[in-house]
Structure 1
Amino acid sequence: MPPPPPPFEYAEAPEPVHAPRYALYVGASLRYLGFGGNFYRNQNRELETSGNFVRSGPGLELNVGARLGRKYIPFLFWEHGFMRQGHRFEGSDATSSSDLVGLGFRYIAGDVDRAGFLSELSIGIRTITVKKGGETYKMSGWEIFRLGLGAEIRLSKLFTISPMGHISSGVLNDTDGDITFSAEGSRDGLTHPTSIHGRGIQDGKAYVVVSIGCGAHFDLFGK
Structure 2
Amino acid sequence: MSAAEWKKKCEAEWSLQGAPLPDSLDWKSVYEAKPLGRNLLKNPSPLGLSKDAPPPERDATMRGLPCFQLDGDFTGWTTSVEILPYDTSGIPKGAVICQLPKRSWFSMEQVVDLKAEGLWEELLDTFQPEIFIQDWYEETRVHQSIYQLHVKLLGADKSTVISEHCVNPTEDLSTYSHTWKEVSHVFCNYGPGVRYVHFLHRLKNSFMMEFYPTKFTGSSVIVRPVTTSS
TM-score w.r.t. the length of structure 1 is 0.29
Larger RCO: 1 or 2 (CA < 8 Å, sep 6+): 2
Structure number with the higher helix fraction is 2
Please tell me whether Structure 1 or Structure 2 has the larger radius of gyration of its CA atoms: 1
